[in-house]
Structure 1
Amino acid sequence: MRKFFLLIAACSVLAACNLAPAYRQPDLPVAGHFDESEVPEGAGAGSGRLATEIGWQVFFGDPQLKFLIAAALERNRDLAASVARIEQARALYRIQNAARLPQVNANAGATRTQAPLGSFDPEFADSDATVRFNQYNVQAAVASFELDFWGRVSNQSEAARRRYLATIEAQRAFRLSLISNVAATYYAIRAGEEGIELAERTVTSRLYALEIATLRLDAGVTSSVDYEQAAILVTQAQTQLAELSRSTGQLRNQLTILVGGPVDGPVPAARPIEDPGQFGALDAGLPSALLANRPDIQQAEQQLRAADADIGAARADFFPRISLTGSFGYVSSELSDLFVPAKQAWSFGGLVSLPVFDAGQRQAQLGQARARRDELVADYQRTVQTAFSEVSDALIGRQRYKEQILAQEEAVEAQRRLAEAAELRYENGISIYLEVVDARRNLFSAEQQLIQLRATALQNGVSLYIALGGGLDAP
Structure 2
Amino acid sequence: MMQNKRWQRLAGFSLPWLLAGCLSLDPDYQRPALPVTLGDSAAADHTDGYPQLAWRDYITDARLRQVVAQSLDANRDLREAIANIAAARALYAESRASLLPTLDAGLDGSRSRALTGSGNATAISQSYQAEAGTSAFELDLFGKNRSQTRAQYESYLSSAEAARSTRLTVIATVVEAWIALAADRSNLAAAQDTAASAQRSLTVTRNNQRHGIVSLVDVASAETVYQAARADVAEYATLVEQDNNALVLAVGQPVAANLLPDGIDALAGSMKELSAGVSSQVLLNRPDVLAAEHTLKAANADIGAARAAFFPTISLTASGGVGSASLSSLFSRGAGIWSFAPSISLPIFSGGYNSAALDYANAQQRADVASYEKTVQTAFQEVSDALARRATLHQQLSAQRGNVAAAQQYAHLAELRYRHGVDSYLNLLTAQRTLYSARQSLIAVQQTHYQNLITLYKVMGGGSARPATDKTD
**Structure 2 stretches lacking a partner, 5+ long:** 1-13, 466-473
Mapped to 1, the partners of 2:258 and 2:410 lie a distance apart of: 43
SS at match of 1:20: coil
Mapped to 2, the partners of 1:171 and 1:150 lie a distance apart of: 34
Shift of 1:242: 1.8
Shift of 1:424: 4.5
Q: 1:449-473: per-residue Cα shift (whole Å, max 9, x none)? A: 2111111111111111221222328
Q: Aligned AA for 1:73?
A: L
Mapped to 1, the partners of 2:122 and 2:89 lie a distance apart of: 57
Cα distance, 1:110–1:231 mapped onto 2, change above 3 Å: farther
Shift of 1:28: 0.7
What residue is the counterpart of 1:166 in the other structure?
A: 158
Shift of 1:133: 4.0
Q: 1:399 aligns with which of 391, 395, 407?
A: 391
Q: 1:282 aligns with which of 255, 266, 275?
A: 275
Give the alignment's TM-score, normalised by structure 1: 0.86
Q: 2:34 aligns with which of 23, 28, 34?
A: 28
- Across the aligned residues of Structure 1 and Structure 2, the Cα RMSD in angstroms comes to 2.9
What residue is the counterpart of 2:364 in the other structure?
A: 372
State whether structure 2 residue 292 is matched by structure 1 residue 300.
yes
State whether structure 2 residue 137 is matched by structure 1 residue 142.
no
What residue is the counterpart of 1:88 in the other structure?
A: 87
Mapped to 2, the partners of 1:93 and 1:403 lie a distance apart of: 52
State whether structure 2 residue 172 is matched by structure 1 residue 180.
yes
CA contact (8 A) 1:203 1:234 kept: yes
What residue is the counterpart of 1:4 in the other structure?
A: none
CA contact (8 A) 1:423 1:436 kept: yes
Cα distance, 1:129–1:371 mapped onto 2, change above 3 Å: farther
Q: 1:59-86: per-residue Cα shift (whole Å, max 9, x none)? A: 2222211121122122322212222211
Identity of counterpart residues, as a percentage? 36
Q: Aligned AA for 1:80?
A: R
Matches within 5 A, 1:116-131: 117=115
Mapped to 2, the partners of 1:465 and 1:284 lie a distance apart of: 13
What residue is the counterpart of 2:382 in the other structure?
A: 390
What residue is the counterpart of 2:8 in the other structure?
A: none
Mapped to 2, the partners of 1:341 and 1:74 lie a distance apart of: 63
SS at match of 1:100: coil
Matches within 5 A, 1:13-412: 15-35=21-41, 45=46, 50-113=49-112, 117=115, 132-263=124-255, 267=259, 272-273=265-266, 275-276=268-269, 278-291=271-284, 293-340=285-332, 342-412=334-404
Number of matched residues?
451
Mapped to 1, the partners of 2:316 and 2:407 lie a distance apart of: 88
Shift of 1:193: 1.3
Mapped to 1, the partners of 2:419 and 2:255 lie a distance apart of: 52
Mapped to 2, the partners of 1:113 and 1:211 lie a distance apart of: 114
SS at match of 1:383: helix
What residue is the counterpart of 1:419 in the other structure?
A: 411
Please say which of residues 273-282 and 398-407 is displaced more in the overlay. 273-282
Shift of 1:274: 6.0
Q: Aligned AA for 2:32?
A: P
Shift of 1:141: 2.4
Q: 1:270-289: per-residue Cα shift (whole Å, max 9, x none)? A: 68356256323325433223
Mapped to 2, the partners of 1:109 and 1:150 lie a distance apart of: 37
Cα distance, 1:403–1:266 mapped onto 2, change above 3 Å: closer
SS at match of 2:343: strand
CA contact (8 A) 1:273 1:455 kept: no
Q: Aligned AA for 1:394?
A: A
Mapped to 1, the partners of 2:419 and 2:150 lie a distance apart of: 83
Cα distance, 1:107–1:436 mapped onto 2, change above 3 Å: same
Cα distance, 1:447–1:229 mapped onto 2, change above 3 Å: same
Q: 1:187-231: per-residue Cα shift (whole Å, max 9, x none)? A: 111111111122222222222222223333344433222222212
Cα distance, 1:266–1:187 mapped onto 2, change above 3 Å: closer
SS at match of 2:265: coil
Q: Aligned AA for 2:24?
A: N
Q: 1:7-51: per-residue Cα shift (whole Å, max 9, x none)? A: x99x98994321110110111111231425x78xxxx835xx622
Shift of 1:248: 2.0
**Structure 1 stretches lacking a partner, 5+ long:** 1-7
Mapped to 2, the partners of 1:158 and 1:191 lie a distance apart of: 49
Cα distance, 1:251–1:34 mapped onto 2, change above 3 Å: farther
Shift of 1:264: 5.7
Shift of 1:290: 1.7
CA contact (8 A) 2:319 2:340 kept: yes
